[in-house]
Structure 1
Amino acid sequence: MKLLSGIALFAPLVSALQNSVIPGWDLQSTTKAGDDLVKLSAPGYDSSSWYSISARSTVFAGLLEAGVYDTEQLFYSKNLQTTVDYLPYYSPWLYRSEFTLKSEQGSHFFLQTHGITSKADIYLNGHKVADKRLQAGTYGGHTYDISDIAGDSNALLIQAYPTDYDKNFAQGFVDWNPYPPDNGTGVWRDVNVKQTGSLFMGRLRVVHDYKPGVSNVRVTLKADVTNLEDAEVSGALEGAIDGHGCKPSGGMKQNFKLGRKETRTISTSATIKDAKIWWPHAWGDQPLYTANAAVHVHGALSDQADQVDFGIRHVSKEVNSHNDTIFFVNGHPFQVLGGGYASDMFLRWDEKKFEAQARYVLDMGLNTIRLEGKEEQPELYAIADRIGLMVMAGWECCDKWEAWKYNDQVTATLWNDNDYSTADYSMRNEATMLQTHPSVLAFLVGSDFWPDDRATAIYLDALDDLDWQNPIICSAAKRGYPESLGPSGLKMDGPYDWVPPNYWYGDQLGAAFGFGSELGSGVGTPEMGSLTKFLSGDDLNDLWTKPRKGLYHMSTNVSAFFDRHIYDKGLFERYGEPKSLEDYLLKAQIMDYEATRAEFEGYSAKWNADHPATGAIYWMLNNAWPSLHWNLFDYYLHPAGAYFGTKVGSRIEHVAYGYDEGNVYLINHSLDKKGSRKIEIELMDTDGEVLASKAVSAKTEPNTSKVVSPVPGLEKIKDVAFLRLLLSNADGEALSRNVYWLATKNDKLNWDKSSWFSTPVSEWADLTALDDMKTASVSAAVKSTSSTSSTVSLHNTADVPAFFIRLNLVDGKGDDVNPVLWTDNYVTLWPKEKLELEVTYPADAGAVSVKMSGGNVGK
């Protein structure tokens, strides 16, 4: 066996000879199967009594698939903690598969891994292929030459060692949620076997010279090619580019000679005339080209690379005079608005679910997800490419990945020489997978802390070798940086727990200036239809009656976020002590909506400020398991207050209320929308009396935000008033509708006593008058417009506002329909106002109906 040093392959490649992914495994613990790996890896050994699992599966995910555990039962209440014996996961586990190969004269065979958590021994046909020092790290991808030990019948055995986050390069969840019992141990990505001729070809890379304003683009296809023979070999690389009617000029063929066992990068280029440019979703289309390449010897195919899709676009960044990073896409300043993505707790990949999550991101008006050490499967990036969703990839914090002498926040073992080697292979593996994807915005080689100089050099060399054309950022914080990368320009100053809406209009910490790499107000309370799936009756009672009791579905028991006392203090003080669980959940949704809207509006409003807000990654987008906070939609894909607050606050054309000075901002996230706009401002008390009204004309410009008017009548608020902002274009078409509930004064923040996760409030806004509103009468009608969509018409027939109307689509059994897309929801209607909303849902939802509830409306 030989290792092809420096070649990091990822996706299964289509070879003219043979190439296949191991389709599944037999799984068993060494405590039951023993540790005689030579015997266990011999063809014909009977492993039929082991668990049968799929190709990509951690140990615990495999046991779930095999029916040993049930996810629904496991996620209920504290069952994960109380019903699972963790002892079996302190020993190695075995993955075994048998397969046949058909050898041809002059052929060679390779075993390709793409990451096994956290480390593994690999045996084939009784021979050791690799040990745990080499096959190490969640992202450690390797290509092993197994030509001398492969046969017609083969048995592959992988011994995966238990993961220790302080000692191994793995995927941890820090304080996001409880750790999985196996710590993610196992073969979580594909393993494949490849057959070639005398030349071996690595994954195809695509490099182009596009700059904004250029129409003809030179595209170069590159691959590392290895001569497997003991003599010089003459070969030819032949490439092709297709898509959008392109006819690249000149033939894409490059002849070459490789010496004995030599590896060299071979390339071929062509020019695409009038190239189609790839854009983020809100800015344009996402045209993708395809590239193919193969190597031939004496006219015969020796190896063929996996077809890759690529987009032509230009991404850059700069650190401005405020030491903040600002990105540019195709020459235009790009304000990043997004959320931190969480993979499944057991690292199970569900393509359909991720596609729904990605659609939610775009529906909310966001443009980016951040992967903190959750690089996932290659399909994630393909989906992002197709829909125009930007991705910030990178390593994670708080464990072995950041075990530097200057990092006093982790207790992990400092790196040794082998760790640096593992980091090298990891970077090369991930860069190889990401290199062609236009959705990739940047790679963060650190999170809370920057890598040391040796690791930085390794990362940069790997990225340079693999033709990386995207920004590289040293970390997600401003604590320090290596000289070779310069300052990150990203801040990590919190908050992570609840803060009032005027926080974002301040001038400290996480407020709307600079680039917040992870920040949010700790919200994301699921609605009842989701809560009852994972909380017991006692859990539900604790949720609303015991703010300081640790809740298993918050964070880990050593986390600052194990209870909800900061969140609940804000809810109780501002909205009044809840009278029941139902009342608590209503107030929670009101507060969540208010919190996320304020954050995204604050960053959008301050896009062109003297100290501009260049980006915000909400903490977090989603959860790894059913959770009570840190999400914009829950684990079951149900959108609630946090979702719709974000959706309103991130509209592409929008009018927003500035909590700091009482001004109205006109916001434009587009590249092409401009011209005259009309803004209608109206302030109304809870009894329906208009306190002030004003119409403003303004002109909007692409990719800008500006103040257009103060809000009149704020001094007339006696307890609580509603502010409605309506934006329309010159033709009277409605572009944005936005309703606030305002107290006589804002919350007063005690900035000097801020912690890393929150800023306390010394004086509270009083919104309790919302509890005493007169009941509004709202009629609702639902009309089906297709098998996957309906229109909901609302009419407030009362003389008072109808506050915070929640609409929930349910199936014939009364269960929530998910995923679901609403044009708007959790809305407040003016007296006599009519509003028509659209809802889209899965075709298999069956008969659907809409449940209505809210602040001062009946069910």
Structure 2
Amino acid sequence: MKKYLLIVCCLLFIWQSYGQSRKENFQMILKDDWKMQSAITDPSAGEKVSQDSFKTKRWYNVSVPTTIIAGLLANKVYSFDPFYGQNFKKLNDPRLDHPWWFRRVFELPSSQNGKTVILRLHGINYKANVWLNGVLIADSSQIKGPFRIIQIDVTKHITNGNNTLAIEVLRPFNPDGENGDLAIDYADWIHYPPDYNGGIVNNIEIKTYNKVGVQYPLVTTKFDLPSIHIAHLSVDALVTNYTGKEQDVILEGTIDGKIKFEQKVHLKPNESRNVSFSPADYPQLNITDPKIWWPWQYGKPELNRIKLAILTGNEVSNTIEEDFGIREITSKMIDTASRMFIVNGEPIMLRGAAWSPDIFQRRSEERQEQEVSLVRDMHMNIIRSEGKLEDDHFYDLCDKYGMLVMTGYMCCGTWQHPENWDADKRKVAMASDSSIMYWFRNKACMMTWLNGSDMPPTDSSVERGYLNIEKTLKYPNPILSTANEGKSKVSGYSGVKMAGPYEWVPPIYWETDTTHRYGGMYSFATEISPGPSIPPYESLIKFIPKDSLWYTSADWQYHCGTHDFGTTNVFNTALNSRYGQASTIKNYLAKAQAQNYEAHRAMMEAYGLNKYHTTTGIVQWMLSNPWPGLIWHTYDYYLYPAGTYFGMKKSMEPLHVMYSYRDNEVDVTNSLLQNFTDLTVQADVYNLDGTLKYNHSAQIAVSKDSIAKCFKIPAIDGLSDTYLLRLQLSDKGGSVRSINWYWSAKTMDKLNWQKSTWYITPQSGYADYSALQTMPKTPVNMNFSTIASKDSTIHQVILTNTGKTVAFFVHLRALKGKDGDDILPVIFSDNYISLAPGERRIIKVTYATKDAHGVPPYFITSAWNLDVALSKGGDHTAFENGLPVN
């Protein structure tokens, strides 16, 4: 018996060894187990640092990607929170002006013996000397640029045992200047990290190839539009001969394991060549009734899978697999100022916000998924990234969830001034463009690429160089020269704009800018915002000391932007003038959520109301803050969704009832590819004492992806100085599809258009909402039930106004037990709602079960006029005079 067992074990070992030796595709991402140290602290030469015997006892343990400061923070080098108060200033360290070492020891499995070994560097910021096993394999004249993919053949330097890679990184020089490095830049978003994000900002990999390799698959779709019944697919890939001999190989491809195609390829020594399969030559690439990738809310983001294999003789030399989407994205100008984007033959109104990564370029797959989930919850369909390229996991999430991506180069430093570039910078720029095109071209989520941000490239030869690369590498999506309204000498108008504002403006602004000079509802606004988004108290105390919690404090202003955006003064003046002078920080914050809500809702609603007539898209500047900040975000650094978030979410409901500030009209916007008939629109106007002054309903229909004008609100006698409008949209089955509350006043906001600048149109008069502070109180009862609990927990919270006046701006929170912190992130189906007398609303609350930390949830409500004594169920925040006072 022992004899037979020995034979079986031997056979199993042989089979495992054979399987390992036949492994077709090898990739080692060098993520963990790195060591990092300053070249000042340890002045050892690269020849020594890259030896296996070198001692790193006092070096820091880090994972890659990491910047220098991110690595120091991970090792708790600093005894302070750099985000608290003005502690960020303490990060300045003379060692940051000098090179830093990143060192990693790795071992290749024996199954890779005899193969070509490629070191793949993707994201060195800004340049580096690279050593392997005591040998300098590339110096800083070759390795530079955070967006480049640089591949080095290290076969002759690899040993059978431990291999030691040492990368000496030199941080960027002055990327925010006109003559600095082509590195990561931030402009006026935030204070610059003192290391300028120097370090390794994307993956470092080892890949092996058996003679010939295949990379960068591309599947391009063409439909016979308007029909999408048949998809005509073209397939491309880069094939490389890593030997000094000619090679005859076969490139085999399969799509979803069903559609197969192949081509014989002859390669010269060390040749790289693009290999193409056209649907004309390969009829099997004409697919009937394919799975189609659609953006969020237009349909399912279906993904397909392509596998490519290289056969040399009878052996599989190398394989690669990737997801892709069968979809076709085009664009056209609807006038000289407005570009419309079209997905699978359907025009799409693009509404989203601008992504910002962590200030220290720290990445978390969990955080990325949380943020993309928040974007979807707000009903956005596009994320813009200005020169802050993410990693593959982020783009995989966008592919998976149907989130379109607009990305490109950045303002406002060296990238924006190609007229000053020398030959070396031009080489970096063109190599970056080539890398990015290869990287992005097959991602379903990619909608468009911008060769410039705040202006077209100022050197026409640079733009021509980019366009030539993009054409050669078959980038399949629209390409724009700029994110602004400027005209390129090479490619003409982009059909988009970035004419501001970036500072507070009132809701009426968006519909009354008829000059087509500023931020009103025309064209595609690639970055635009009503300015500050003030976080709630629970977030503020995490980064501003309690004795500095006022909008005039130095700590407060330090957490604004920079340059023209270093205060919240314009927002503060509007708040105090419109809602009454803030008496305490909590009083200020409650008013701030209302002002954030109405401003951001109005912006998105106005662009949706005019879609395809003069508007084609809008991107809120910004989506998130790279650190805890007070301006330009939809949710704060801690993922807390406050007034801005829910104003945004309300405005972009797929089927939405809204009020036009300009026309005093009730309208319905439909963002779905579905017709609706027999809808009921109801409008009710309330005085602040709860008196119903007007009600009207109408039956309407709305076509797919369009707008229905319903009716105007007439002049109403006997209104209080401030009054409330409730709109409701119900479908023919009686289900409520949208509820939307507005507050209005007899004294309205006025704008001084003549004094407009690139970032603001100032106000000459303010609406008077101060009476909201003294509304009669009303009780709100609350109860909840748990309807699901596993990985995700879902609660149903029922709020009922049992009084005789409107409960204004009711805010629901979910805590980790009584007196605990908020459960974050959390998805509320709605929030900051108002309730008519007798109205009952159900709010669904969803969060990852682990984020409650095993503590039963505790729900708490607040409202501007909540009668705590008469409210029942759960907990209700006490207010005085309608608003918190301390």
Distance in structure 1 (CA, Å) of the matches to 2:708 and 2:31: 56
Distance in structure 2 (CA, Å) of the matches to 1:140 and 1:496: 32
Deviations 1:622-654 (A, max 9, x none): 110111121111111110100111111111111
Query: By how many angstroms is 1:455 displaced?
Result: 1.7
Paired residue total: 822
Query: By how many angstroms is 1:209 displaced?
Result: 2.8
Task: Give the letter for the 2:524 counterpart.
Answer: F
Using the size of structure 1 for normalisation, the TM-score is: 0.93
Distance in structure 2 (CA, Å) of the matches to 1:849 and 1:691: 37
Query: By how many angstroms is 1:774 displaced?
Result: 0.9
The equivalent residue for 1:169 is: 182
The equivalent residue for 1:481 is: 488
User: Gaps (5+ residues) in structure 1?
Assistant: 1-13, 406-413
Using the size of structure 2 for normalisation, the TM-score is: 0.90
Query: By how many angstroms is 1:441 displaced?
Result: 0.9
Deviations 1:343-396 (A, max 9, x none): 011111111111111111111111111000111101111101111111111111
Partner SS state of residue 493, structure 2: coil
Cα 1:175/1:639, change in 2 over 3 Å: same
Is it true that 1:620 corresponds to 2:622 in the alignment? yes
Is it true that 1:464 corresponds to 2:471 in the alignment? yes
The equivalent residue for 1:108 is: 116
The equivalent residue for 1:194 is: 207
Q: Which one of 764, 767, 788 corresponds to residue 766 of structure 2?
A: 764
Q: 1:523·1:642 contact (CA, 8 Å) conserved in 2?
A: no
The equivalent residue for 1:638 is: 640
Q: 1:692·1:712 contact (CA, 8 Å) conserved in 2?
A: no
Cα 1:659/1:195, change in 2 over 3 Å: same
The equivalent residue for 1:11 is: none
The equivalent residue for 1:279 is: 294
The equivalent residue for 1:856 is: 865
Q: Which one of 57, 63, 84 corresponds to residue 72 of structure 2?
A: 63
Task: Give the letter for the 1:490 counterpart.
Answer: V
Distance in structure 2 (CA, Å) of the matches to 1:584 and 1:214: 53
Cα 1:701/1:43, change in 2 over 3 Å: same
Is it true that 1:689 corresponds to 2:719 in the alignment? no
Partner SS state of residue 793, structure 1: strand
Q: 1:338·1:370 contact (CA, 8 Å) conserved in 2?
A: yes
Q: 1:694·1:712 contact (CA, 8 Å) conserved in 2?
A: no
Distance in structure 2 (CA, Å) of the matches to 1:355 and 1:549: 31
Q: 1:805·1:852 contact (CA, 8 Å) conserved in 2?
A: yes
Distance in structure 2 (CA, Å) of the matches to 1:189 and 1:48: 26
Distance in structure 2 (CA, Å) of the matches to 1:522 and 1:789: 33
Partner SS state of residue 567, structure 1: helix
Q: 1:220·1:267 contact (CA, 8 Å) conserved in 2?
A: yes
Partner SS state of residue 542, structure 2: helix
Distance in structure 1 (CA, Å) of the matches to 2:397 and 2:26: 27
The equivalent residue for 1:606 is: 610
The equivalent residue for 1:234 is: 248
Is it true that 1:534 corresponds to 2:543 in the alignment? yes
Query: By how many angstroms is 1:231 displaced?
Result: 2.6
Task: Give the letter for the 2:804 counterpart.
Answer: D
Query: By how many angstroms is 1:63 displaced?
Result: 1.2
Query: By how many angstroms is 1:829 displaced?
Result: 0.9
Structure 1 ranges of 4+ moved more than 4 A: 103-106, 547-550
Which deviates the most, 755-764 or 104-113?
104-113
Distance in structure 2 (CA, Å) of the matches to 1:214 and 1:315: 13
Is it true that 1:73 corresponds to 2:81 in the alignment? yes
Query: By how many angstroms is 1:105 displaced?
Result: 6.6
Is it true that 1:563 corresponds to 2:567 in the alignment? yes
Is it true that 1:596 corresponds to 2:605 in the alignment? no
The equivalent residue for 2:319 is: 304
The equivalent residue for 1:410 is: none
Q: Which one of 251, 255, 265 corresponds to residue 274 of structure 2?
A: 265
Cα 1:773/1:488, change in 2 over 3 Å: same
Q: 1:495·1:758 contact (CA, 8 Å) conserved in 2?
A: yes
Which deviates the most, 461-470 or 593-602?
461-470
Partner SS state of residue 597, structure 1: helix
Task: Give the letter for the 2:483 counterpart.
Answer: A
The equivalent residue for 1:825 is: 831
Alignment of structure 1 residues 117-156 onto 2, 5 Å:
117-152=125-160, 153-156=162-165
User: Gaps (5+ residues) in structure 2?
Assistant: 1-21, 869-876, 878-886
Q: Which one of 184, 207, 211 corresponds to residue 197 of structure 2?
A: 184
Q: 1:685·1:722 contact (CA, 8 Å) conserved in 2?
A: yes
Which deviates the most, 108-117 or 455-464?
455-464
Distance in structure 2 (CA, Å) of the matches to 1:297 and 1:755: 64
Q: 2:451·2:479 contact (CA, 8 Å) conserved in 1?
A: yes
Cα 1:714/1:761, change in 2 over 3 Å: farther
Q: 1:211·1:314 contact (CA, 8 Å) conserved in 2?
A: no
Distance in structure 1 (CA, Å) of the matches to 2:802 and 2:336: 52
Alignment of structure 1 residues 342-353 onto 2, 5 Å:
342-353=356-367
Cα 1:312/1:434, change in 2 over 3 Å: same
Query: By how many angstroms is 1:840 displaced?
Result: 0.8
Q: 1:15·1:304 contact (CA, 8 Å) conserved in 2?
A: no
Query: By how many angstroms is 1:547 displaced?
Result: 8.0
The equivalent residue for 2:441 is: 435
Partner SS state of residue 282, structure 1: coil
Partner SS state of residue 508, structure 2: helix
Distance in structure 2 (CA, Å) of the matches to 1:104 and 1:352: 33
Q: 1:92·1:160 contact (CA, 8 Å) conserved in 2?
A: yes
Distance in structure 2 (CA, Å) of the matches to 1:606 and 1:366: 17
The equivalent residue for 1:504 is: 510
Distance in structure 1 (CA, Å) of the matches to 2:408 and 2:692: 51
The equivalent residue for 1:8 is: none
Which deviates the most, 491-500 or 92-101?
92-101
Query: By how many angstroms is 1:208 displaced?
Result: 3.0
Query: By how many angstroms is 1:304 displaced?
Result: 2.1
Query: By how many angstroms is 1:673 displaced?
Result: 3.5
Task: Give the letter for the 2:800 counterpart.
Answer: H
Task: Give the letter for the 2:626 counterpart.
Answer: A
Cα 1:756/1:547, change in 2 over 3 Å: farther
Is it true that 1:806 corresponds to 2:811 in the alignment? yes
Distance in structure 1 (CA, Å) of the matches to 2:683 and 2:437: 50
Partner SS state of residue 442, structure 1: strand
Cα 1:454/1:48, change in 2 over 3 Å: farther
Q: Which one of 308, 317, 327 corresponds to residue 313 of structure 1?
A: 327
Query: By how many angstroms is 1:461 displaced?
Result: 2.2
Cα 1:216/1:118, change in 2 over 3 Å: same
After superposition, the CA RMSD in angstroms is 1.8
Distance in structure 1 (CA, Å) of the matches to 2:847 and 2:556: 36
Distance in structure 1 (CA, Å) of the matches to 2:76 and 2:222: 52
Task: Give the letter for the 1:278 counterpart.
Answer: W
The equivalent residue for 1:723 is: 725
The equivalent residue for 1:323 is: 337
Deviations 1:213-238 (A, max 9, x none): 14333333322222233332111111
Distance in structure 1 (CA, Å) of the matches to 2:567 and 2:323: 46
Is it true that 1:515 corresponds to 2:524 in the alignment? yes
Cα 1:104/1:54, change in 2 over 3 Å: closer
Q: 1:791·1:837 contact (CA, 8 Å) conserved in 2?
A: yes
Distance in structure 2 (CA, Å) of the matches to 1:32 and 1:513: 56
Query: By how many angstroms is 1:550 displaced?
Result: 6.3
The equivalent residue for 1:5 is: none
Task: Give the letter for the 2:425 counterpart.
Answer: D
Is it true that 1:355 corresponds to 2:369 in the alignment? yes
Alignment of structure 1 residues 242-257 onto 2, 5 Å:
242=256, 247-248=258-259, 251-257=260-266
Deviations 1:728-755 (A, max 9, x none): 1122111110010001142110011012
Cα 1:200/1:608, change in 2 over 3 Å: closer
Query: By how many angstroms is 1:608 displaced?
Result: 4.7
Cα 1:683/1:18, change in 2 over 3 Å: closer
